[in-house]
Chain A
Amino acid sequence: MISDYLMLTGLNILLAWSVYVILLSGSLSFANGGFMGIGCYAAGVVTVKLGWPLLLALPVAGLAAGLLGAVVGLPALRTRGVYLILVTIGITACVKVTIESIPYLGGVQGFGGMGGSALWQVWGLVALVGAALFALSRTPLQRILDAIREDETVARCLGANVVYLKVAMFGIGAALAAVAGGLYGHYYVFVTPDHFNILVSIYLVLYVILGGVNNPWGPALGATAMSLLPEASRVLQDWRPTVFGVLILGLLLVRPQGLLPFRLRTARPPRPRP
């Protein structure tokens, strides 16, 4: 039981970070549920149909979804605000219906036979990605990304390659979501396209917004809280969606900036050479 909770929490932290990575460059993605689904099915096909080991299948899934994310992101990231929300929701919807209509992947009935993701793999990846995110927050790249997030025009005028960075971060986020999706599928053994619907994408964004968008701790805390709180007691489980909803409504009203809104200190810029 404990290991189930740990597994779920670890996966949700990874998925929350996949949204956070994209948000670093200023785009809020509701497509990560879809990328998670792509990764889950890609990894599943590679292990079940081709017989590869899981640890080789995960990079394949990540690469496939990352490339797809970059290709889709190039036009999609031209939109912003409410329009970007709608476009990324549309991507998730398209992924779900596309998987449903491919008989090779089991269609609506689902796809099974995977297995073998272990707790250490998930939490090892959490440690790895976490370390990378904290390392990133010490580099000048974080400042450039912050500039893009605050004002794209200013960032572009200061010489940042805005399009390249936004597309790259979108691709990286998609890849991370796909790897987490692969681990998800190989833990639950059997998945259906409905596991990756729009509501899942919305939940992932919620973890990030509730936790705070300015540092990697926020999404991790949001994902942990939202994974464990509903499991805390029997009553909460019976009323799970309502408790969830009331919690979100309340938290957003009390702390619209998230639970941990602080920023991490970035490294000092290098001294200009004389």
Chain B
Amino acid sequence: MLAEQLLNGVIVGGLYALVALGYTLVFGVLDKLNFAHPDIFMFGGYVAVASLVLGAPVWTTVIVVAAVTGVLGLLVELASFRRFTAPDAHITAALSSVAFGLIIVDLVQKQWGSEPLEVPLEGRSAAIVALGVRLAYVKLAALAATLVLLAVLYVVVRRTRFGRRMRAVADSPVSAALLGVNVRAVTQLVFFLASAVAGIAGMLRVTITGFATSEVGFTFGLKALAIMAIGGMGDLRGAVLGGVLVGVVEAVAFQIGLGQIADVAVWVLMIAVLLVRPAGLFGGRHQRETRA
């Protein structure tokens, strides 16, 4: 049982990591929090269900989800971040993105209702049993997809020209602009990438749980925000390690009947980390200073 729960924890932790990475990418480039991000994650699940209901195969659905949520991310950038560029405008931008998230949630509830929506996926409950551990194929697929996405993100950020431009902007937007980087284009691409990844994470979560709900952004998505801070804001490895850590701790706590405590533990851990070590548990060299 414990091994199964640990595995579940890793899988859920991977989803946390994918959402937290979106926060961290945007924070790295803009130094601002995107509060519409959890709702984009939630929306990805609904788009997946809608696409599957229409009879689209899984691969097409993945592409549709990524495209739709990515474009939604561009809209968020346009409405909530483009105008608020000043370094001290982080609160205006954060609140504006909260408003954007409110609209997404309300429109989703208008379209699909507030009751959980079932996923029409054949053979969702099929599972393999190995070494006494029962594992559904969808979970295995979700784990594989998470690993692939993490690898793709790593390559994009570390090994491509776009990634280099992105890191330059994260380091210093002014210097990057002076050296010929199109900061706005980089920002837009980052929003597209972060939102598309969050959308796919939302789809993966929906296929694992079997239901799409509109509260998931508020619960799961906000916890990913805490994880981003625990791992280290703007730090990619931190988001992944933090996500897996929290996923496993939650699964174990749930197993021994302390699920409620685990909910607080994430936030307490986040507060402690921000007070003692603002760069995050796994934070890198830079960002040792508490940024204004």
Contact = CB atoms under 8 A, between A and B. Distances in A.
Interface of A: 28, 75-76, 78-83, 85-87, 89-91, 93-94, 97-98, 100-101, 197-199, 202, 205-206, 209, 239-242, 244-249, 252-253, 256
A13 to B, nearest CB: 19
A241 B106 contact: yes
A242 B260 contact: no
Given A81-B292, A86-B225, A256-B83, A245 B99 contact: yes
Interface stretch (B4-12, B60-68, B86-94, B130-138): B86-94
Interface in B29-46: 31-33, 35
A240 B106 CA distance: 8
Contacts of B278: 79, 83
Residue of A78, A91, A202, A247 ringed by the most chain B CB atoms within 10 A: A202
Residue of A75, A97, A240 ringed by the most chain B CB atoms within 10 A: A97
A94 B95 contact: no
B102 A242 contact: yes
Nearest to B27: A82
Interface stretch (B170-178, B189-197, B249-257, B268-276): B268-276
A85 B94 contact: yes
Contact of B103 (A245, A253, A256): A245
B263 interface: yes
A85 B33 contact: yes
A82 B233 contact: yes
Contacts of A78: 275, 290
Question: DSSP class of B's interface residues: helix, strand, loop or mixed?
Answer: helix
Contacts of B54: none
Given A252-B99, A253-B96, 17 more contacts: A82-B33, A82-B291, A85-B94, A86-B270, A87-B274, A98-B264, A101-B264, A202-B98, A205-B91, A206-B98, A240-B106, A242-B106, A245-B99, A245-B102, A246-B99, A249-B100, A256-B84
A94 B263 CA distance: 8
B222 A198 contact: yes
B62 to A, nearest CB: 28
Contacts, number: 130
Contacts of B35: 202
B267 interface: yes
Nearest to A75: B275
Contacts of A75: 275
B119 to A, nearest CB: 25
B2 interface: no
B290 to A, nearest CB: 6
A226 B270 CA distance: 31
B157 to A, nearest CB: 21
Contact of B226 (A90, A244, A253): A90
Contact of B102 (A94, A100, A241, A253): A241
B33 A101 contact: no
A264 B220 CA distance: 43
A44 B163 CA distance: 55
Given A98-B264, A241-B105, A82 B90 contact: yes
B270 A256 contact: no
A96 to B, nearest CB: 9
B290 A199 contact: no
Contacts of B100: 245, 249
Nearest to B262: A97
A2 to B, nearest CB: 27
19 contacts: A28-B91, A76-B271, A76-B275, A81-B291, A83-B290, A85-B90, A85-B94, A86-B33, A87-B275, A90-B270, A90-B271, A91-B271, A205-B95, A206-B95, A206-B98, A242-B103, A249-B79, A249-B99, A253-B79
Contacts of B146: none
B279 to A, nearest CB: 11
Interface in B204-243: 218, 222, 225-226, 229, 233
A239 B109 CA distance: 11
Contacts of A239: 106, 110
Nearest to A198: B222
